[in-house]
Chain A
Amino acid sequence: MTIAEKQEEIISEFEFLDDWLDKYQQIIDKGMSNPGIDPQYKTDEYLIEGCQSKVWVYAEYKDGLVYYQGESNTDIAGGIVAMLVEVMSGHTPDEILETDLYFIDKIGLKEHLSPTRSNGMLAMVKQMRMYALAFKSKRCED
């Protein structure tokens, strides 16, 4: 599946949820089914700055594709990072860097999260893109 297709899938999951509590439930459930991060990466080194909750993201580069792992100490942030991992994982650095993450706006996440959570989510996206950028530069050097 392309990044766009994955985004469409998430949008369709949220589409029929009118009540924001139901949307939150969906986010929480996303976090619950997320395998999380390998405990060895649950360290300050992989902690994302700018989140009120603690969020760890680790990425590795295999056969030209970036694979992310993410986890949070809170369930809502955990659900958000799970969705970002789901959408962005398994793609080339170029795909990740070129993609517009429109599902965030489309499901109304940005406007319905508190400003601190919304900023935290942007910090997650930024960090995940940084990984892609780093792998891309590394590939160029190789």
Chain B
Amino acid sequence: MEFILAILIGIFYAAGLYMMLRRSLVKLIIGLILLGNGANLLIFLLGRITKGLPPIISGESPVFLGAYADPIPQALILTAIVISFGLQSFAIVLVKRAYTVVKTDDLDQMNSTDQFS
């Protein structure tokens, strides 16, 4: 399971970076989404996907130790998902506005702010 997830995370990161390096704005957003999902899976994997070791239960109550997984990675992922939900919806609106104003979705054409004036 860990092995498959590790490979999957690698694919997510690679695909996300590749998409971010494209010139199209839409692909940029897809890249960001993939990267975000990769990061979430990474938290999931590194938070140990087995039961046991919840940090808030002390070692003296072994009954619960085996039954519960560490809840923190899930809380982290949920937070990260909520944040990326907000960011991605903002990104879509921004790209749409940029497309209607600049009239292109080619990032290479959007260089007017870098030019000398």
Specify whether A and B are partners: no
